[in-house]
Amino acid sequence: MKFGIVTDLHYSTKESACTTRRPNKSLEKLKISLENMKEADLIVCLGDLVDDCGDESENLRCISDLMQVIRSCGKPFYCIPGNHDCTNFNKEYFYSLTGCPKLPYVLSGDTHDVIFIDACFAADGSEYRPGKVNWTDTDLDKVQMESLKSILDSDDKKPLAVMLHQCLDPNVEHRHLLHSAGLLREMLEKSGKVDTVIEGHYHPGADNVINGIHYLTLPAMCELDNIPFTVIDL
């Protein structure tokens, strides 16, 4: 099954304080990336669809515009909440706006089962929500940690891929890593089932193989005039 993947659109009508970001170009860039991912069976966004416009109705308009473009390609869509999505919307609202299933979620591909996990939680287990987002304080909550363990421990022999917004690859700048990144890498390695991790959040991107697992950090769409996307067979 071909997964067409984008990340970190940060779509907003407000200019970013970060001079390398072009959040207002992301809607057009998304259209171009979808045009170029015609072979994809489904579309995934690894999070941070939107950035804060500073106005609730404008924030709503931005995510609605994105969803209209995504729906117009007629393919199933899956997304992971990112820290910026949680700055704008509580998670239930985010899921209802995007029509995506609540995480953790397992999707059965042709060659892999793909696990989508949500690290928009602080170390104390509290869920990110508007007014309560600290992007450097990121982890899985206990419920997801347990469900990930039980998937990794199951007798199912199908290879696994993991998708998340924040990072497990220790080569990216460390504030982008989950607190449990080291423990999680160890769990994935020990299971012997996981060969692929696909993540976003670290805008320059990265591509590394560590102890037999390929960690692909997809570059952010909001940066400069870049239009990064990838199509991966899983």
Catalog residues that contact Fe ion under the rule CB under 5 A: 48, 82-83, 201
Q: Which is nearer to Fe ion, 152 or 216 (by Cβ)? A: 216
Output the smallest distance, CB 130 to Fe ion, in A.
15
Q: Which is nearer to Fe ion, 193 or 201 (by Cβ)? A: 201
Output the smallest distance, CB 92 to Fe ion, in A.
20
Q: Which is nearer to Fe ion, 134 or 154 (by Cβ)? A: 134
Output the smallest distance, CB 88 to Fe ion, in A.
12
Q: Which helix (H) or strand (E) holds 86?
A: helix 83-88
Q: Which is nearer to Fe ion, 21 or 201 (by Cβ)? A: 201
Q: Starting from the edge strand earliest in sequence, which strands make up the sheet with 105-108, in order?
A: 105-108, 113-116, 160-164, 194-199, 213-217, 206-210
- CA atoms within a 13 Å half-sphere pointing along the CA-CB vector of 61: 10
Output the smallest distance, CB 85 to Fe ion, in A.
9
d(CA 230, CA 94): 24
Q: Which is nearer to Fe ion, 113 or 121 (by Cβ)? A: 121
d(CA 149, CA 89): 29
d(CA 233, CA 206): 19
The single-letter DSSP state of residue 126 is P
Q: Which is nearer to Fe ion, 64 or 134 (by Cβ)? A: 134
C-alpha angle 134-189-83 in degrees, rounded to nearest 5: 15
C-beta nearest to Fe ion: residue: 201
Tell me the sheet residues that pair with 6. Answer: 45
Task: Judge contact between 27 and 65, C-beta under 8 A.
Answer: yes
Q: Which is nearer to Fe ion, 128 or 193 (by Cβ)? A: 128
Structure tokens at 207: 């591509």
Output the smallest distance, CB 80 to Fe ion, in A.
10
The dihedral formed by the CA atoms of 16, 126, 145 and 101, expressed in degrees to the nearest 10:
-60
Output the smallest distance, CB 155 to Fe ion, in A.
35
Output the smallest distance, CB 16 to Fe ion, in A.
13
